[in-house]
Amino acid sequence: LEISPFIASLPKVELHIHIEGTLTPALRWKLAHRNNIPLPYATYEELVDSYNVTYNHRREVNGDNGAPTFLEAYFAGCQVLCTEDDFYELAMAYLEKAREMNVRYVEPFFDTQAHTRRGVPAETVLNGYLRAQRDGAERFGVPSNWIFCFLRDEPLEDGLKAYRAALPWARTKDGRGKGLFHAVGLASNEYNRPPGLFEEAFLLSKEDGLHLTMHCDVDQKDAAEHMHEAIFDICAGTGTDRIDHGLNALDRMDLIQGLKSRGIGLTLCPHAYHRRQATEVLFPKIRRLWDEGVKFCINSDDPTYMHNVWIDGNMMKVHEYCQFTKRDMAKLVQNAVEMSWADEDIKKEIL
Ligand code: ADE
Ligand code: ZN
């Protein structure tokens, strides 16, 4: 689908994008050489090929066609990120791209554990992103508030350690943090890792004054149970503030009702699901969520690992395949603004 002038010029807000999922083969190639990191690919073309990943996080579900799973490719990509400048360049490249797509405000996810477990100090990662947050707002006019992710397939204790290390870079309620991130999320492989395992971490971040979101990815094992926990049980029953993906709410009326009554919005990434679901199956589901009155917005997830479909391409798809009108498209942006954790002055400027 070609991006229409209407979608291109629509002011946009992105709430679900993993910064490490914006690493292009070109930047990866450059950083690998700069940092003397050997790539397991003989040529640049082979590197580009390695971005053709399978959808499910588990190899046995994908069948053995030799392609890496998404997470294998994503964490392999991370290996070239070593210095503060690397993280800065990655983030600035994304924020510049955001400006080009008329994205006015973003809340990117970042993983520190993906880097500290390779021996990169947390402060290297955090200082790189912090500098990009400031320069991206100044140079490209794209303000951002970032989201620290717990890797759910790592032990809770590792997540807590990573969180404590990152906390000086947060915007905590005492106002003393550096202001990079203002929320925590839950990402990586969800298989047998329900959100409740991270209750202690969520309670801690809530006490620190941070917002909370978590991935409930589409058609994962126990998807509906994980969603039920996220909506009703997490944080001593107060629930999560947002859910990333969450399309499986359609499986159960109690989930739809819970989302609505608690005002929990979904950050949907249609192209990510479209890789696996036929057009005539997927888009009627998104349309049904809309007709049920569930609040959601449209995002891109990991665009360079998902055929380079960015937020504009994702919005194009729902515009086309859900029969959303121009007015509906503007409402989707308004949803994103309302679901966002931007300061009021930024929200006013976008709408
Ligand atoms: N971390 C980064 N991208 C992710 C995705 N698409 N699903 C789960 N965890 C992720
Ligand atoms: Zn995601």
- Residue pair 113/69 in contact (Cβ under 8 Å)? The answer is no
Residue range 43-58: average pLDDT? 85
Indicate if ligand 1 lies below 6 Å from the C-beta of 193: no
- Centre of ligand 2 to C-alpha 340, Å, is 16
Summarize pLDDT for 86-122 with one digit per residue, the tens. Answer: 999 999 999 999 999 999 999 999 999 999 999 999 9
Tokens of 156: 């809770």
Centre of ligand 2 from the C-alpha of residue 349, in Å: 27
User: Is 99:142 a contact under the CB 8 Å cutoff?
Assistant: yes
- Pick the residue with more confidence: 52 or 136? 136
Domain locations in the chain as residue ranges: 5-14+84-350
284-293, Cβ contacts within 8 angstroms, sequence gap of 24 or more: 284/322, 285/247, 285/250, 286/247, 286/318, 286/322, 287/322, 287/323, 288/250, 289/247, 289/249, 289/250, 290/322, 290/324, 290/328, 292/256, 292/260, 293/260
Using CA atoms, how far apart are residues 129 and 300, in angstroms rounded to an integer? 19
What number does the ligand 1 atom closest to the CA of 20 have? 2
Q: Sort strands 242-245 and 211-216 into parallel, antiparallel or unpaired.
A: parallel
Task: Please identify, by atom number, the ligand 1 atom nearest to the C-alpha of residue 187.
Answer: 9
CA of 111 to the centre of ligand 2 (A): 11
For 285-325, what is each residue's pLDDT tens digit? 999 999 999 999 999 999 999 999 999 999 999 999 999 99
Pairing relation of β-strands 146-151 and 242-245? unpaired
Can you tell me the mean pLDDT for 55-82? 82
Determine the residue of 15, 198, 219, 302 to mutate for testing ligand 1's pocket, defined as the one with the most ligand atoms within 8 A of the Cβ atom.
Answer: 302
What is the residue with the minimal CA distance to atom 7 of ligand 1? 188
> Which residue intervals of 195-307 are DSSP H helices?
199-207, 223-228, 253-262, 270-274, 279-292
Ligand 2 centroid – CA 17 distance (Å): 6
Is the CB of 226 within 6 Å of ligand 1? no
Lowest mean pLDDT among 56-65, 173-182, 242-251, 286-295: 56-65
Instruction: Indicate the top mutation candidate among 14, 74, 300 to test ligand 1's pocket, ranked by most ligand atoms within 8 A of CB.
Output: 74
Give yes or no for residue 77 CB within 6 A of ligand 1: no
* pLDDT on residue 28: 98
Q: Which CATH number fits domain 5-14+84-350: 3.20.20.140, 3.50.50.60, 1.10.3720.10, 3.90.660.10?
A: 3.20.20.140
Q: Please tell me if the CB atom of residue 215 comes closer than 6 angstroms to any atom of ligand 1.
A: yes
- Check pocket membership of 74 for ligand 1, CB cut-off 6 A: yes
Cα–Cα separations (whole angstroms), residue 77 to 38, 39, 72, 291: 12, 9, 9, 39
What pLDDT, on a 0 to 100 scale, did the predictor assign at position 324?
A: 98
What pLDDT is stored for residue 62 in this prediction?
65
- CA atoms of 162 and 200, how far apart (whole Å): 14
Cα 148 to Cα 159: distance, rounded to the nearest angstrom: 10
pLDDT at site 264: 98
316 alpha carbon – ligand 2 mean position (Å): 19
Q: pLDDT for 172-222, tens place per residue? A: 888 889 999 999 999 999 999 999 999 999 999 999 999 999 999 998 899
Ligand 1 atom 4 nearest Cα? 188
Which protein residue's CA is at the shortest distance from atom 8 of ligand 1? Answer: 188
Q: Report the pLDDT value the prediction gives residue 65, as an integer from 0 to 100.
A: 67
What are 110's strand-pairing partners?
Answer: 148
In terms of residues, how long is the chain?
A: 351
Give the pLDDT band (50/70/90) at residue 64: low
Would the pTM of this model clear 0.90, i.e. be above it? yes
Alpha helices, DSSP H only, in 101-249?
A: 113-116, 122-140, 156-166, 199-207, 223-228
More confident residue, 133 or 220: 133
In ligand 1, the atom with minimum distance to the C-alpha of 190 is: 8
Mean pLDDT rounded to a whole number for the chain: 96
Assess contact for 83 and 37: CB atoms under 8 A: no
